[in-house]
Chains A and B, each alone.
Chain A
Amino acid sequence: MTKIDTFIKGILDILPLMIPVVPFGIIYGVIGVEIGFSPMEVFAMSFVIFAGSSQIAFAQLFAAGASPLVMISSVAVINSRHILYGAVLAEYLGKLRLTWKIILSYLMADQAFSVSSAYFKKNVKNKNVHFHMLGSGLTLWSLWQLSTLIGIVLGNIVPAQLGLEFAIPLTFFSLILSELRKLDHLIIILISGICSVLTYNFPFKIYIIFSAIFSLAISIMINKKFK
């Protein structure tokens, strides 16, 4: 396959996964504005951070008066899953030039990882596999920026009485739908959730990181025990 063909394949492969991404971006834009960020700040987060769930958490913690250290470390914990993506992709991207590594790392969001790592595995002989991730990543990136912009515009129109803030827990819940049927995940979900409501009033809004690390520690113990 040529570079262009592979690039287009990347775009086509990721398109079905964009159906939930667009409303997610719009919700993020609306909520960012409603929380009190300037449109430029809301947009800058999509551009600079480019990781939806951590952007919402970052904005929410800022609005709740969390300390910057807590905001930053919450982003780090939420995005630590990318380390795993990097470990999987390193096999295919490790040989590329530095510029390629930087661009594809910046574009390494969940959906791009998901479709392109699957493609890499199936097309080991194709020397241009990285063009697939460029296609999937750029598609995701463009739609994320566009939907953020739509959200920012709507955020100035939609009345606050609609209670769109409730879309935050709904959106995060929708991100773990596929884990609900796995018992080990379900246990961790419940432990983390219960822990978070009990530690909500701990200083510095530390409850997210605290609950995450606490339930991760339990998950490791559960895994050791049942191996």
Chain B
Amino acid sequence: MIWTWIFIAGIITFLTRYSMIALIKPNTLNETTKKALTYVPSAVFPAIIFPAVFLDKQGDFIYILSPQILAFFVAVIVGYLSKNVIFTIASGLISFWIFSYVLH
């Protein structure tokens, strides 16, 4: 069954890319829609980030001084200052390993 869903997800992704190019008259999006679409990453990705950092598998808040919360804040600071994708992910992962080791 998973194969069916992969293909449907693929077709939908393709249609998001193809729809506007297929139109005969280009640029039919109004300004509000355009603006809203530029917000999509900022609206979607935090909903994946926050639960993965602050909640356990059951959906309960984890202890504030847990390695993953501390490491996430390191990544936020590094990311904000450096604006560098690699530094951000690496600093988060490495500090996660260090905090996990120190706090256990």
A87-B26, A185-B39 provided; 7 other pairs, C-beta below 8 A?
A53-B45, A86-B16, A90-B21, A169-B72, A180-B79, A196-B48, A219-B42
- B16/A44 in contact, CB under 8 A: no
Main SS at interface, chain A: helix
4-41 of chain B: CB within 8 A of chain A: 5-10, 12-14, 16-24, 26-29, 32, 34-41
Chain A 166-203 per-residue mask, 1 if CB under 8 angstroms from chain B, else 0: 11111111111111110011001110111111001100
How many residues in B have their beta carbons less than 8 Å from beta carbons of A? Answer: 68
How many residues in A have their beta carbons less than 8 Å from beta carbons of B? Answer: 90
- B42/A192 in contact, CB under 8 A: yes
43-75 of chain B: CB within 8 A of chain A: 43-55, 59, 61, 68, 71-72, 75
Main SS at interface, chain B: helix
CB distance from A201 to the nearest CB of B (A): 5
Chain B interface (Cβ < 8 Å from any Cβ of A) = 1-3, 5-10, 12-14, 16-24, 26-29, 32, 34-55, 59, 61, 68, 71-72, 75-76, 79-80, 83-86, 88-89, 92-93, 96-97, 100
Chain A 205-225 per-residue mask, 1 if CB under 8 angstroms from chain B, else 0: 001101111011001100100
